[in-house]
Amino acid sequence: MAILVVAEHDNAALGSATLNTVAAARQIGDEVHLLVAGSGCGSVAEASAAIEGVSKVLVADNAAYSHQLAENVSLLVAELGKGYSHILTSASTSGKNYLPRVAALLDVDQISDIIRVDSADTFARPIYAGNAIATVQSSAPIKVITVRSTGFDPVSATGGSAAVEQLDSAQDAGISSFVSEEMAKSDRPELGGAEIVVSGGRGMGNGENFEILYKLADKLGAAVGASRAAVDAGFVPNDMQVGQTGKIVAPNLYVAVGISGAIQHLAGMKDSKVIVAINKDEEAPIFQVADYGLVADLFEAVPELEGKL
Amino acid sequence: MKILVAVKRVIDYNVKVRVKADHSDVDLTNVKMAINPFCEIAVEEAVRLKEKGVATEVVAVSLGTKESQEQIRTALALGADRGILVETDEKLGALSVAKLLKAIVDEEKPDLVILGKQAIDSDNNQTGQMLAALAGLPQGTFASELTVEDGKASVTREVDGGLQTVSLSLPAIVTTDLRLNEPRYASLPNIMKAKRKPLDTKTPADLGVEVASSLTTLKVEPPAERSAGIKVGSVDELIEKLKTEAKVI
């Protein structure tokens, strides 16, 4: 049976995490269908059809799906999903929001945040803030799964030529409505997919001081992240948080500045290829995972680093 | 209105877990246990709604072994009015928990159910959403702001890229993010008072729910260790290493 992947998008552009999710699906089976549920999402459907390894794209274009409200999207995915062996989506806030609802509607358990596919019914996922990896086998008739993007190399966004099929579905549960949104604007790369991430912690002292990290990030073409301490102190908005309860990143280079390295933060970045820590506290736990540690005052070291790059 | 809050007993968040030598699970013997941090935030939010006069009663429910009583008592000490323990020695998956909570919701008929967004042990982030689906109710997940008025809940949610506000008709399910509030400390008099608050014990059989899971954990392993790195003496040395050794810039 085929595998259904639900695309991640904002109605205008396809989210890059979808490519990682398709890669996970391809490790499970050969026939992968992609569902695009949204409103005015024609360009997303087009982009989806071009993804390598996708054989069919299903498009549900309706106002009921415009803001991905879980109550509406879950009805659509559960209805459609009955004909599939697996339903996958990325472990983004959107996927985490509606997919467990789909699983409950189908009366099956869900497997969250997989990082490895062992076989069509066996998967690995981190538990306890990434301090243990559980290998889980599912006997559910339909496997409902969210995929951690950093666990899978993306498939190519081009080269595919899937058939596009329009669905005339309009599932509106009528119990919730979208009111407003406030999205952080940034010219820097998206945190989840960036090659280089520069993150600041409590050691930054205040929000204005993050300016030196932004300068360094711009020199490196990097995204900027933060620890929970920096977010809680109001230095930066929450969507920049890296950790167990924030975003999970695994860039080529992660530069932790003024971050002590609590378990919850390490959960979000310790799969980075190279970790650099800049901290004036020689005993900070971050040095136990850093490939290169610099014990220095960040207010001197960061501008110097930026200047010399 | 009545608020139901679900709380979970988990390993204390500061404890670094160790995987058992036989790789069957993590080792929880003699480890400090506590109320899941997200659940604590859920209790705090419910108590604040009561203090504002929005809620009239706060019921705390936990599912698990007898020891979960301690976490219900914590919730009672923080201001919940009474507790319900669904006692079982079975390991409960999120779907089973959601089914048991659905049965409690059918009995108690709360106007609002508040849960944490995820438990820091299983890291599933599923239960609230599953409960909402089973009960046919709207959900406001990852809430950083909650307002209840005129039969509706307005929930500001933390989403990738920023914040989203949704309006839900009551009854509704809300799951908490860390920024929703700062939980209070239980005072000693309140801890003493909590010992006298009512706590009902039920079993899954009482609720007519069969606890079963289609998931089997084959093994639990420690993650790959990172090899210890080196300390560099200067910014120049750092740049040099990143360019020639690590080749990442």
Q: Which residues of B touch A97 (CB under 8 A)?
A: 129, 139, 141-142
Pick B235's closest partner by Cβ from A231, A263, A304: A304
Query: H helices of chain A, where?
Result: 17-28, 42-49, 70-81, 93-105, 210-220, 228-232, 263-266, 298-308
CA distance B231 to A31: 49
Beta-carbon count within 10 A of B235 CB = 21
How high is the pLDDT of residue B227? 77
Between chains, do B215 and A136 touch, taking CB under 8 Å as contact? yes
Determine the Cα angle at A71 with ends A70 and A76, to 5°. 85
Compute the average pLDDT of residues B151-171.
Answer: 96
Query: H helices of B87-163, where?
Result: 94-108, 127-135
Q: What's the CATH number where B210 sits?
A: 3.40.50.620
Domain that holds residue B44: 2-245
Compute the average pLDDT of residues A299-304.
Answer: 98
CA distance B48 to B54: 9
Please check whether residue A132 touches B, CB under 8 A. Answer: yes
Between chains, do A100 and B127 touch, taking CB under 8 Å as contact? yes
Pick A100's closest partner by Cβ from B126, B159, B235: B126
How high is the pLDDT of residue A101? 98
Sorted by sequence, the CB contacts under 8 Å of residue A119 that are 6+ apart come out as none
Between chains, do B235 and A308 touch, taking CB under 8 Å as contact? yes
Q: Which residue type does A191 have? A: L
How high is the pLDDT of residue B143? 98
Chain A: closest CA distance from residue B60 (Å): 23
Between chains, do B246 and A253 touch, taking CB under 8 Å as contact? yes
Q: Give Cα B242 distance to the centre of its chain.
A: 41
pLDDT at residue B249 above 90? no
Measured CA distances, A118 to A93, A125, A155 (Å):
25, 11, 18
How high is the pLDDT of residue A236? 95
Number of A to B CB contacts under 8 A, please give it: 250
Between chains, do A288 and B98 touch, taking CB under 8 Å as contact? no
Q: Which residues of A touch B218 (CB under 8 A)?
A: 122, 135-137
Q: Which residues of A touch B174 (CB under 8 A)?
A: none
Whole-number percent of chain B with pLDDT over 70? 100
Q: Are B119 and B36 in contact (CB under 8 A)?
A: yes
Q: Which residues of B touch A135 (CB under 8 A)?
A: 217-221
The H-or-E segment that residue B50 falls in is helix B37-51
How many residues are given for chain A? 309
This prediction's pTM? 0.96
pLDDT in tens, B176-188: 999 999 999 999 9
Token pair of B130 as six digits: 């599953």
The H-or-E segment that residue A294 falls in is strand A292-295
Q: Which residue type does A140 have? A: A
Of the candidates A116, A153, A158, which has an alpha carbon nearest to the alpha carbon of residue A137? A116
pLDDT in tens, A213-266: 999 999 999 999 999 999 999 999 999 999 998 999 999 999 999 999 999 999
Q: Give Cα A196 distance to the centre of its chain.
A: 16
How high is the pLDDT of residue A225? 98
Between chains, do B218 and A137 touch, taking CB under 8 Å as contact? yes
| Domains of chain A with CATH codes | 3-166 (3.40.50.620), 191-308 (3.40.50.1220)
* Closest residue in A to B159 (Cα–Cα): A93
Token pair of B41 as six digits: 């935030």
Q: Per DSSP, what are the bridge partners of residue B6?
A: B61
CA distance A252 to B44: 40
Token pair of A61 as six digits: 């274009």
pLDDT at residue B228 above 80? no
Between chains, do A96 and B121 touch, taking CB under 8 Å as contact? no
| B-proximal residues of A, 185-244, CB under 8 Å | 192, 196, 220, 228, 231-232, 237-239, 244
Please check whether residue A63 touches B, CB under 8 A. Answer: no
Query: H helices of A60-204, where?
Result: 70-81, 93-105
- The helix/strand count (H/E) of chain A reads as 8, 16
**CB-based burial label for B187 (10 Å; 0-12, 13-18, 19+):** exposed
Please check whether residue A86 touches B, CB under 8 A. Answer: no
CA distance B94 to B227: 35
State how beta strands B57-64 and B33-35 pair: unpaired
Binding residues of A: 202, 227-228, 241-245, 258-265, 279
Q: Per DSSP, what are the bridge partners of residue A221?
A: none
Of the candidates A272, A100, A181, A244, which has an alpha carbon nearest to the alpha carbon of residue B93? A100
Between chains, do A133 and B223 touch, taking CB under 8 Å as contact? yes
Q: Are B156 and B216 in contact (CB under 8 A)?
A: no
Of the candidates B96, B120, B109, B43, which has an alpha carbon nearest to the alpha carbon of residue A104? B96
pLDDT at residue B226 above 90? no
Better-predicted residue by pLDDT, A169 or B87: B87
pLDDT in tens, A127-178: 999 999 999 999 999 999 999 999 999 999 999 999 999 999 999 999 999 9
Q: Per DSSP, what are the bridge partners of residue A176?
A: B168
CA distance A164 to A187: 32
pLDDT in tens, A4-30: 999 999 999 999 999 999 999 999 999
pLDDT in tens, A51-110: 999 999 999 999 999 999 999 999 999 999 999 999 999 999 999 999 999 999 999 999
How high is the pLDDT of residue B55? 97
Sorted by sequence, the CB contacts under 8 Å of residue A187 that are 6+ apart come out as none
Determine the Cα angle at A286 with ends A284 and A287, to 5°. 80
Between chains, do B123 and A192 touch, taking CB under 8 Å as contact? no
Tally the domains of chain B.
1
